[in-house]
């Protein structure tokens, strides 16, 4: 291993730029003559828009235009779409209702845009917005997914009777029911997987410019996948043909899924820029982010796990109602189905699984992928059930898991996935030792002596990354293929530009991708530049989400590097006057096997461009290759997280006192970055389990619409993590990478809740387990140390 | 934010005169309450009168058995002051529990108590220590100063200049944070100075900071956690919200009061 190659903890090349304030984000883009746009949003969760009076606003200083949804509709552009078709049990297609970028007729959630004001400055736009009079007729709203399909619930979209988008299922109901009937023991749980607000540090932003001369539109957008944004805005919204639309996603400050989707704001900025002939700019304010960034999770679930006399799982049956919000966001249909239910086998051999998912509209912010996207929800179901099962059966939780682990690979689950490789026992074993599980009893007694309750919880998770083999994605309803592209451009001096369809918004691609290339070509990481996020530079790409950039994005780079090396060898053969078959490339040097003749990488690169020494009729000059890589399978990162908590029974406050994570991510390119991803993921999972509480009132107002009420995890909510790894290489991609970006967020919630319920001695508590919620449980169970 | 006129007077007299001439003017201290409200367009003062250039409004002085803290003294300075740490260590500690470093380097004691947020920390210290609030016009006992949620005894053109704290024999503050805002979900300040025993509660009262007379009476018999054993406060009249029901807050008051007394007596 070289000091900067694969496996080296190279410091992030991009960090100097970021921590010295030199990053260049969408809001840093300013165009001559630009105007500010302000979105007037419905203050009601459900209301008829009877009339909008814009006259006074239009006459305010600095205001070139005020537009309503009715005006937007006049231009007959297409709707925003959900690009993943899901079918109900009865074969009927999902009921996708129209989603106009500016609502006309009816507003369906607090935050739904009903009009926009454009002005020279944002302050002027806000002043004018106060003069816009919207006459609403407030309608009853429904926010609770469990009530959305009930008779009498207010209907949100004509297209979706009973507010139901689909009733989907997977698995075999009959065999699962039979196994449940014959079971020796059945563990049953009901829970809510709480709705989360994504809270990327950089708020969403867009600036659109129209060049009347060329007819080209340019959009700078805080996006995780600029090419997909261009495709949707061109092909579905019909804003402009793809070749007339350029989308640039410059530095992006965090996404966690929320910046995958194509939102109304970028569409409206493009439309308005062309309409008024000036660049139009929007940056969300934090309170706007809370009510417009697609939220995550929001499931209501009932689940049962059946066991035989030996503690083997014989069946799993799950029913989930998934809240989709007021409109179907870009990938919303797939998250509670294909990214959820196929993970329900966990690390276990479960012969029969049946899962039903009902997706419903409610008068809330749309819900879509958020770090983990479906897999945290699935892991929560499986890992809570097996832990509770162990308690009920009187078996040690690790032992019950071990009894049920998948031990030989490949393993075909009963819910579609083919697990390629793994060693679940190895990560469990390592975690138990690292955590000093044996010492838990002693630590618990010590806590008890101090009047505290201590608990321990496990989460042996598996997830699926590297989405996805395109043909499979297509069979499952995806509107796109999920391959990735790369182009390797070698400069005459041997330095390299990598153009990738992946997009970095915190992951550190500028470093890890450079490590891969440096390792392969024997050059320094500083000689490698990563170019991404611009549809004019990178031909096409699917972007970054679902921990796919390593497994899919880097595989595409490897493929392109293979082609570069093959051509470079041909050129080296001519330079060294040897047969191509005798050329060996290693450590940045081409040598003729069995001789001391050699040419350095830089010499061959230069040779390719001066093109003096090879027949250009056979070999083209230059050194540049591209590749598209389509995965052959998903990848399956897995591991074991152990959480230990201490609860103060007087206040209900939970302190996480220990955390051990042993993950199997396959090949690790940069262990420091991977460890950082694990830390961040756990923090987000702990946020979900202990802190993040998205509360809507009955009228559909978001009660937790700011940091005064919505608790994000902070450093002092977290312990010092023990992070380690086991490695089984992924067999389906050239580097053996599985992916690490979401694992922490997937594993953590179940580990925390297993620990808390272990400490409390009751299973009835939902996330987030706030001090008040824990205290209430203790009051009910009479365990409060001292009734005050 | 709406536009406004910004004044930066150099004397207290100028500030007071600006205030009395402009009925809707607002004093700007650390701005950590006022500016966010203005940015959200929830407040619209046509004039801001910035106190930061007025000499003598910031600073800490001990004279005999009392400690005077200037209205414009930042939380971070109170926290780091050796004088405060020596005289009333709990006050230094309390200042260090407010918000985050950015808040503590801008927020002021005058701004905090003038604002009288029902979850703020300083009002509990003022009431718990029996402080005197000194303005450009008069001296007001803490017991009379905090008149309700976000309201005080201050008159329209009145400016807090300093707060005078008598040095207690024993005192402690227990803050149970709201997980989101990190303000006090409940905070209990206890202090003993001779026969004067005070228990002040912030975060819980629907009328802002208040004293718990029953606890004070019990502690007068013996200033020890045991004296509070079994004592409760009724949930009626307490705040209830998504972070804590009135019952939960009532429970926390009792727990934190016992803990504060234990801390004060060094147990
Ligand atoms: C993120 C955040 C976290 C916070 N956390 C906490 C916390 O944990 N605990 C806590 O107690 N507080 C907290 N605060 C509030 C913080 O302490 C504020 O700074 C303080 O409450 C207001 O002080 P200021 O100097 O910023 O006042 P300003 O915002 O400048 O003024 C507040 C009000 O007081 C008036 N005023 C100011 N000075 C005077 C004066 N001398 N005489 C008369 N009227 C005056 C102003 O006109 C205004 O109405 C937090 C604030 C923020 C932004």
DSSP letter at A410 equals: S
Contact residues, chain B, for A123 at CB < 8 Å: 1, 3
Dihedral of the alpha carbons of A694, A698, A699, A705, in degrees to the nearest 10: -20
Q: What is the CATH number of domain B60-265?
A: 3.30.465.10
Range of the domain at A229: 19-139+201-254+259-292
What angle separates helix A743-760 from helix A375-393, to the nearest 10 degrees? 30
Residue A363 lies in a domain: yes
> Same domain, yes or no, for A516 and A594?
yes
In sequence order, what DSSP letters do the residues of A161-216 get, joined into one string?
GGGEEEEEEEE-HHHHHHHHHT-SEEEEEEEEE--B----SSPPEEEEEEETTTTE
Host H or E run for residue A441: helix A440-449
Q: Tell me if chain A has a CB within 8 Å of the CB of B225.
A: no
Contact residues, chain B, for A690 at CB < 8 Å: 179
Ligand 1 in reach of B115 Cβ (< 6 A): yes
| Nearest CB partner across the interface for A772, out of B2, B180, B248 | B248
Residue A206 belongs to a domain with what CATH number? 3.90.1170.50
Q: Which residues contact A82 (CB under 8 A, 6 or more apart)?
A: A94, A96, A328, A329, A330, A331, A332, A333
Contact residues, chain A, for B3 at CB < 8 Å: 123
Q: Which residues contact A408 (CB under 8 A, 6 or more apart)?
A: none
Q: Tell me if chain A has a CB within 8 Å of the CB of B7.
A: no
Q: Tell me if chain B has a CB within 8 Å of the CB of A122.
A: no
Ligand 1 in reach of B27 Cβ (< 6 A): yes
Q: Do A711 and B179 touch (CB under 8 A)?
A: yes
Among B145, B159, B228, residue whose Cα is nearest residue B14 = B159
- CA A547 – CA A511 distance, rounded (Å): 16
Contact residues, chain B, for A710 at CB < 8 Å: 180
- The bridge status of strand B26-28 relative to strand B47-50 is parallel
Among A603, A610, A578, A628, residue whose Cα is nearest residue A523 = A603
Q: Are A258 and A222 in contact, with CB atoms under 8 Å apart? A: no
Reported ipTM: the value is 0.96
> Same domain, yes or no, for A530 and A665?
no
Contact residues, chain A, for B245 at CB < 8 Å: 772
Q: Are A706 and A286 in contact, with CB atoms under 8 Å apart? A: yes
Distance from CA of A248 to the nearest CA of B (A): 30
Dihedral of the alpha carbons of A257, A262, A265, A267, in degrees to the nearest 10: 160
- By CB atoms closer than 10 A (0-12, 13-18, 19+), residue A181 is exposed
Each residue of A118-160: pLDDT tens digit?
999 999 999 999 999 999 999 999 999 999 999 999 999 999 9
Q: What are phi and psi of A775, to 5 degrees?
A: -60, -40
Each residue of A611-670: pLDDT tens digit?
999 999 999 999 999 999 999 999 999 999 999 999 999 999 999 999 999 999 999 999
Q: Over 80: is that where the pLDDT of B267 sits?
A: no
Q: Which two tokens stand for residue A208?
A: 């659109």
Q: Do B243 and A770 touch (CB under 8 A)?
A: yes
> Same domain, yes or no, for A659 and A728?
yes
Other C-beta atoms closer than 10 Å to the C-beta of A151 total 5
Residue A191: predicted pLDDT: 95
Query: To which residue do tokens 């005459």 refer?
Result: A492
Distance from CA of A146 to the nearest CA of B (A): 20
Q: Are A633 and A482 in contact, with CB atoms under 8 Å apart? A: no
Number of residues that make up chain A: 788
Host H or E run for residue A528: strand A528-531
Q: Tell me if chain A has a CB within 8 Å of the CB of B207.
A: no
In sequence order, what DSSP letters do the residues of A654-719 get, joined into one string?
EEEEEEEEEEE-BS-S-HHHHHHHHHHHHHHHHIIIII----B-TTS-BTT-STTTS----GGGS-
Mutate to test the interface with A, among B36, B42, B180 (most CBs of A within 10 A): B180
The answer to whether domain B5-50 and domain B60-265 are alike in fold is: no
Distance from CA of A734 to the nearest CA of B (A): 45
When pLDDT is averaged across residues A580-608 and rounded to a whole number, the result is: 96
Cα within 13 Å of Cα(A6), Cβ side? 14
Q: Which two tokens stand for residue B28?
A: 């700007």
> Same domain, yes or no, for A537 and A623?
yes
Task: Note the Cα B86 to chain centre separation in Å.
Answer: 20
Q: How far is the CA of B35 from the centre of ligand 1 (A)?
A: 10
Each residue of A151-180: pLDDT tens digit?
999 999 999 999 999 999 999 999 999 999
Among A98, A317, A274, residue whose Cα is nearest residue A188 = A317
Among A7, A27, A5, A23, residue whose Cα is nearest residue A15 = A23
Q: Do A691 and B180 touch (CB under 8 A)?
A: yes
DSSP letter at A465 equals: B
Residue A98 lies in a domain: yes
Q: Which two tokens stand for residue A156?
A: 């949100």
Contact residues, chain B, for A691 at CB < 8 Å: 179-180
> Same domain, yes or no, for A514 and A616?
yes
| Nearest CB partner across the interface for B248, out of A127, A693, A775 | A775
Among A519, A517, A513, residue whose Cα is nearest residue A501 = A513
Q: Which two tokens stand for residue A548?
A: 């796919």
Q: Over 70: is that where the pLDDT of A54 sits?
A: yes
**B28 Cα nearest atom in ligand 1:** 30
Q: How far is the CA of B60 from the centre of ligand 1 (A)?
A: 18
Q: Do A123 and B1 touch (CB under 8 A)?
A: yes
Q: Over 70: is that where the pLDDT of A87 sits?
A: yes
Each residue of B115-174: pLDDT tens digit?
999 999 999 999 999 999 999 999 999 999 999 999 999 999 999 999 999 999 999 999
| Nearest CB partner across the interface for A651, out of B2, B176, B245 | B176
> Same domain, yes or no, for A557 and A664?
no
Q: Do A691 and B179 touch (CB under 8 A)?
A: yes
Ligand 1 in reach of B114 Cβ (< 6 A): yes
Each residue of A543-562: pLDDT tens digit?
999 889 999 999 999 999 99
> Same domain, yes or no, for A86 and A121?
yes
> Chain A: residue nearest B41 by CA?
A126
Q: Tell me if chain A has a CB within 8 Å of the CB of B177.
A: no
Q: Over 80: is that where the pLDDT of B54 sits?
A: yes
- CA B67 – CA B55 distance, rounded (Å): 19
Among A513, A168, A211, A185, residue whose Cα is nearest residue A334 = A168
- CA A83 – CA A600 distance, rounded (Å): 48
> Chain A: residue nearest B243 by CA?
A772
Residue A47 lies in a domain: yes
Residue A781: predicted pLDDT: 85
Q: How far is the CA of B160 from the centre of ligand 1 (A)?
A: 13
Ligand 1 atom 46 nearest Cα: B27
Q: Tell me if chain A has a CB within 8 Å of the CB of B248.
A: yes
Contact residues, chain B, for A709 at CB < 8 Å: 180-181, 242-243
Distance from CA of A385 to the nearest CA of B (A): 29
> Same domain, yes or no, for A606 and A640?
no
Contact residues, chain B, for A287 at CB < 8 Å: 40
Residue A428: predicted pLDDT: 98
Residue A2: predicted pLDDT: 77
Q: How many CB pairs under 8 A join A and B?
A: 48
Residue A186 lies in a domain: no
Residue A784: predicted pLDDT: 58
Among A130, A134, A132, A156, residue whose Cα is nearest residue A145 = A156
Last residue of a domain, one of A629, A647, A668: A629
Ligand 1 in reach of B34 Cβ (< 6 A): yes
List % helix, strand, coil for chain A (3-state, nearest 5): 30, 25, 45
Host H or E run for residue A750: helix A743-760
Q: Are A415 and A340 in contact, with CB atoms under 8 Å apart? A: no
What angle separates helix A375-393 from helix A397-404, to the nearest 10 degrees? 110
Among A82, A132, A136, residue whose Cα is nearest residue A108 = A136
| Nearest CB partner across the interface for A708, out of B2, B180, B250 | B180
The count of domains in chain A is: 3
Residue A310 belongs to a domain with what CATH number? 3.30.365.10
Residue A764 lies in a domain: yes
- The bridge status of strand A245-248 relative to strand A216-221 is parallel
Coil vs helix vs strand at A527: helix
Among A433, A412, A419, residue whose Cα is nearest residue A461 = A419
Q: Tell me if chain A has a CB within 8 Å of the CB of B4.
A: no
Q: Tell me if chain A has a CB within 8 Å of the CB of B242.
A: yes
Coil vs helix vs strand at A383: helix
> Same domain, yes or no, for A324 and A287?
no
Q: What are phi and psi of A551, to 5 degrees?
A: -65, -40
State the architecture of B5-50 in CATH terms.
Answer: 2-Layer Sandwich (3.30)
Query: To which residue do tokens 């803490």 refer?
Result: B142
Each residue of B69-124: pLDDT tens digit?
999 999 999 999 999 999 999 999 999 999 999 999 999 999 999 999 999 999 99
Q: Which two tokens stand for residue A509?
A: 């691609």
> Same domain, yes or no, for A317 and A446?
yes
Q: How far is the CA of B149 from the centre of ligand 1 (A)?
A: 14
Contact residues, chain A, for B32 at CB < 8 Å: none
What angle separates helix A743-760 from helix A671-686, to the nearest 10 degrees? 40
In sequence order, what DSSP letters do the residues of chain B get, joined into one string?
----EEE--SSHHHHHHHHHH-TT-EEESS-TTHHHHHHTTS---SEEEE-TTSTTSS-EEEETTEEEEETT-BHHHHHH-HHHHHH-HHHHHHHHTSS-HHHHHH-BHHHHHHHT-TT-SHHHHHHHHT-EEEESS-EEEHHHHEEETTEES--TT--EEEEEEEPPSEEEEEEEE-TTT-SEEEEEEEEEETTEEEEEEESSBTTSSEE-HHHHHHHHH--SGGGGTT----STTB--BTTB-HHHHHHHHHHHHHHHHHHHTT-
Residue A172 lies in a domain: no
Q: Do B245 and A651 touch (CB under 8 A)?
A: no
Q: Where are the domains of chain B?
A: 5-50, 60-265
- CA A271 – CA A40 distance, rounded (Å): 16
Integer CA distances (angstroms), A744 to A192, A462, A631, A641, in order: 20, 11, 24, 8
Q: Which two tokens stand for residue B250?
A: 């009532």
Cα within 13 Å of Cα(A683), Cβ side? 18
DSSP letter at A578 equals: S
When pLDDT is averaged across residues A285-296 and rounded to a whole number, the result is: 98
Q: How far is the CA of B117 from the centre of ligand 1 (A)?
A: 8
Task: Note the Cα A106 to chain centre separation in Å.
Answer: 30
Residue A14 lies in a domain: no
> Same domain, yes or no, for A348 and A491?
no
Residue A352 lies in a domain: yes
Q: How far is the CA of B102 from the centre of ligand 1 (A)?
A: 12
Host H or E run for residue A600: strand A598-600
Q: Tell me if chain B has a CB within 8 Å of the CB of A509.
A: no
Ligand 1 in reach of B32 Cβ (< 6 A): yes
Ligand 1 in reach of B53 Cβ (< 6 A): no
Q: Tell me if chain A has a CB within 8 Å of the CB of B255.
A: yes
Coil vs helix vs strand at A426: helix
- CA A192 – CA A169 distance, rounded (Å): 19
Q: Over 70: is that where the pLDDT of A788 sits?
A: no
Q: Over 90: is that where the pLDDT of A3 sits?
A: no
Task: For chain A, give the mean pLDDT.
Answer: 96
- CA A395 – CA A310 distance, rounded (Å): 11
Q: Over 80: is that where the pLDDT of A398 sits?
A: yes
> Same domain, yes or no, for A61 and A101?
yes
pLDDT category of residue A783 using cuts at 50, 70 and 90: low
Q: How far is the CA of B206 from the centre of ligand 1 (A)?
A: 19
- By CB atoms closer than 10 A (0-12, 13-18, 19+), residue A606 is buried
């Amino acid at each position: 291993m070289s000091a900067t190659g694969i496996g080296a903890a190279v410091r992030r090349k991009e960090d100097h730029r970021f921590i010295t304030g030199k990053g260049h984000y969408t809001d840093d883009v300013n165009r001559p003559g630009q105007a500010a746009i302000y979105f007037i949003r419905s203050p009601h969760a459900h209301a008829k828009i009877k009339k909008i009076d814009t006259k006074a606003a239009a006459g305010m200083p600095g205001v070139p235009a005020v537009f309503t949804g009715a005006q937007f509709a006049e231009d007959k552009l297409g709707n925003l779409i959900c690009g993943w078709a899901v079918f109900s049990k009865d074969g009927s297609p999902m009921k996708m209702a129209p989603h106009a970028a500016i609502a006309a007729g009816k507003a369906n959630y607090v935050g739904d845009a009903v009009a926009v004001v454009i002005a020279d400055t944002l302050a002027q736009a806000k002043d004018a917005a106060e003069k816009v009079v919207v006459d609403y007729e407030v309608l009853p709203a429904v926010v609770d997914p469990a009530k959305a399909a009930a008779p009498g619930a207010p209907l949100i979209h004509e297209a979706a009777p009973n507010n139901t988008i689909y009733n989907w299922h997977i698995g075999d109901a009959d065999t699962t029911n039979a196994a449940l009937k014959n079971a020796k023991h059945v563990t049953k749980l009901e829970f809510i997987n709480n709705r989360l607000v994504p809270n990327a540090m950089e708020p969403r932003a867009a600036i659109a410019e129209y060049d009347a001369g060329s007819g080209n539109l340019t959009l700078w957008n805080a996006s995780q996948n600029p090419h997909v944004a261009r495709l949707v805005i061109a092909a579905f919204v019909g804003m402009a043909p793809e070749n007339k639309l350029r989308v640039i996603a410059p530095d992006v400050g965090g996404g966690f899924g929320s910046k995958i989707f194509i939102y109304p704001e970028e569409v409206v900025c493009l439309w308005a820029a062309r309409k008024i002939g000036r660049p139009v700019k929007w940056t969300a304010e934090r309170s706007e982010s809370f009510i417009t960034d697609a939220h995550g999770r929001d499931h209501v679930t009932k689940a049962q796990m059946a066991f035989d006399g030996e503690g083997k799982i014989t069946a799993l049956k799950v029913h989930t109602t998934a809240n989709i919000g007021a409109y179907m966001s870009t990938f919303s249909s797939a998250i509670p189905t294909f990214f959820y239910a196929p993970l329900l086998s966990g690390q276990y051999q479960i012969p029969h699984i049946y899962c039903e998912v009902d997706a419903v509209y409610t008068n809330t912010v749309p819900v879509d992928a958020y770090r983990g996207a479906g897999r945290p929800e699935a892991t929560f179901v499986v890992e809570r059930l097996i832990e509770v099962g162990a308690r009920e059966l009187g078996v040690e939780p690790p032992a019950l898991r071990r009894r049920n682990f998948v031990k030989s690979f490949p393993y075909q689950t009963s819910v579609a996935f083919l697990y390629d490789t793994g060693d679940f026992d190895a990560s469990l074993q390592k975690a138990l030792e690292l955590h000093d599980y044996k010492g838990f009893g002693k630590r618990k007694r010590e806590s008890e002596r101090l009047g505290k309750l201590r608990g321990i919880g496990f989460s042996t998770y598996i997830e699926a990354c590297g989405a996805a083999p395109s043909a499979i994605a297509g069979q499952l309803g995806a509107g796109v293929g999920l391959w990735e592209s790369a182009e390797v451009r070698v400069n005459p001096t041997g330095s390299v530009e990598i153009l990738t369809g992946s997009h970095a918004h915190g992951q550190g691609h500028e470093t890890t991708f450079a490590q891969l290339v440096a390792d392969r070509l024997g050059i320094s990481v500083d000689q490698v530049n990563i170019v991404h996020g611009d549809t004019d530079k990178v031909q096409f790409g699917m972007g970054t989400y679902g921990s796919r950039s390593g497994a899919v994005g880097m595989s595409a780079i490897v493929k392109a590097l293979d082609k570069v090396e093959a051509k470079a060898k041909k050129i080296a053969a001519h330079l060294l006057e040897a047969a191509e078959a005798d050329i060996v490339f290693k450590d940045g040097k081409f040598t003729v096997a069995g001789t001391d003749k050699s040419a350095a990488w830089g010499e061959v690169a230069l040779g390719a461009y001066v093109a003096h020494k090879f027949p250009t009729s056979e070999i083209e000059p230059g050194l540049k290759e591209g590749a598209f890589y389509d995965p052959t399978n998903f990848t399956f990162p897995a591991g074991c997280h152990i959480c230990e908590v201490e609860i103060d029974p007087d206040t209900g406050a939970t302190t996480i006192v220990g955390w051990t994570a042993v993950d199997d991510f396959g090949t690790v390119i940069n262990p420091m970055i991977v460890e950082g991803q694990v830390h961040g993921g756990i923090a987000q999972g702990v946020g979900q389990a202990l802190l993040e509480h998205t509360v809507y009132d009955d009228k559909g107002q978001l009660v937790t619409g700011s940091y005064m009420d919505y608790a994000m995890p902070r450093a002092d909510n977290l312990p010092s993590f023990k992070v380690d790894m086991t490695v089984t290489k992924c067999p389906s991609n050239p580097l053996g990478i599985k992916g690490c970006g979401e694992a922490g967020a997937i594993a953590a919630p179940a580990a925390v809740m297993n620990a808390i319920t272990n400490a409390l001695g009751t299973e009835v508590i939902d996330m987030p387990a706030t001090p008040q919620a824990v205290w209430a449980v203790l009051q009910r169970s009479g365990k409060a140390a001292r009734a005050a | 934010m709406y536009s406004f006129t910004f004044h930066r007077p150099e004397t207290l007299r100028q500030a007071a005169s600006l205030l009395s001439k402009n009925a809707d003017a607002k004093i700007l201290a650390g701005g950590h309450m006022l500016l966010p409200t203005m940015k959200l367009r929830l407040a619209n003062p046509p004039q801001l009168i910035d106190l930061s250039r007025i000499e003598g409004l910031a600073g800490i002085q001990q004279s005999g058995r009392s400690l005077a803290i200037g209205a414009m003294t930042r939380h971070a300075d109170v926290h780091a002051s050796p004088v405060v740490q020596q005289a009333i260590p709990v006050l230094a500690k309390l200042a260090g529990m407010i918000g985050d470093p950015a808040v503590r380097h801008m927020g002021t004691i005058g701004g905090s108590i003038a604002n009288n947020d029902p979850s703020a920390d300083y009002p509990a210290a003022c009431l718990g220590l029996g402080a005197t609030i000194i303005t450009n016009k008069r001296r007001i006992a803490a017991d009379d100063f905090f008149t309700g949620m976000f309201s005080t005894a201050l008159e329209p053109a009145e400016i807090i200049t300093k707060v005078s704290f008598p040095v207690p024999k024993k005192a402690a503050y227990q803050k149970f944070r709201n997980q989101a805002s990190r303000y006090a979900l409940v905070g209990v300040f206890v202090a003993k100075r001779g026969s004067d025993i005070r228990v002040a509660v912030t975060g819980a009262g629907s009328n802002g900071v208040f004293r718990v007379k029953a606890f004070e009476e019990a502690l007068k018999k013996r200033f020890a956690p045991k004296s509070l054993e079994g004592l409760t406060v009724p949930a009626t009249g307490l705040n209830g919200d998504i972070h804590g029901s009135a019952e939960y807050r009532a429970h926390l008051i009792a727990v934190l009061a016992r803990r504060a007394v234990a801390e004060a007596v060094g147990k």
